[in-house]
Amino acid sequence: MALRVKVCHVGDVAEGEFRAFRVTGVTWPVIITNLTGELIATAGVCPHEDVALANGWLEDGAIVCPGHAYEFDLRTGKCRHDASLELRRYKITQISDEIWVDLL
Ligand code: FES
């Protein structure tokens, strides 16, 4: 059974931007990115060395980690610098204007 949590509302993340949202009981925030109107949910921590991605930036469909500037493709989670690394993506369910994310 999925652990589904409400993270934000549709209008909370502007197109071309991302925001980090704290979720009760979860160490790292969940990041919601609005990629040309498509909302994508990912973990808020870099799979390389546990650096907060909330301080990163977007570039060509990827979130760039502020730690070593590795790029993680938001649509696949794959790292463009190290194929062994993958950013965790979460399934999104939209209920009315609410964004719910399956953490498990
Ligand atoms: S800690 Fe994120 S790329 Fe190294």
Determine the residue of 45, 50, 51, 63 to mutate for testing ligand 1's pocket, defined as the one with the most ligand atoms within 8 A of the Cβ atom: 51
Which protein residues are within 6 Å of ligand 1, measured from CB?
Answer: 46, 48-49, 51, 65, 67-68, 70
**Extents of the domains making up the chain:** 4-102
Kindly list the distances between the CA atom of residue 39 and the CA atoms of 28, 33, 89, 101, in Å, as whole numbers in the listed order.
Answer: 19, 6, 11, 11
CA-to-CA distance for 43 and 30, rounded, in angstroms?
5
Instruction: Please tell us whether the domain made up of 4-102 is placed in CATH 2.102.10.10.
Output: yes
Mutate to test the pocket of ligand 1, among 28, 42, 63, 68 (most ligand atoms within 8 A of CB): 68
Residue 30 CA: distances (Å) to CA of 16, 40, 69, 82, 84: 17, 10, 19, 22, 22
Exposed, middle or buried by CB within 10 Å (0-12, 13-18, 19+), for 59?
exposed
Provide the pLDDT for residue 75: 97
The pTM for the full model equals 0.95
pLDDT digits 0-9 by tens, 44-97: 999 999 999 999 999 999 999 999 999 999 999 999 999 999 999 999 999 999
For residue 65, the ligand 1 atom closest to its alpha carbon is: 2
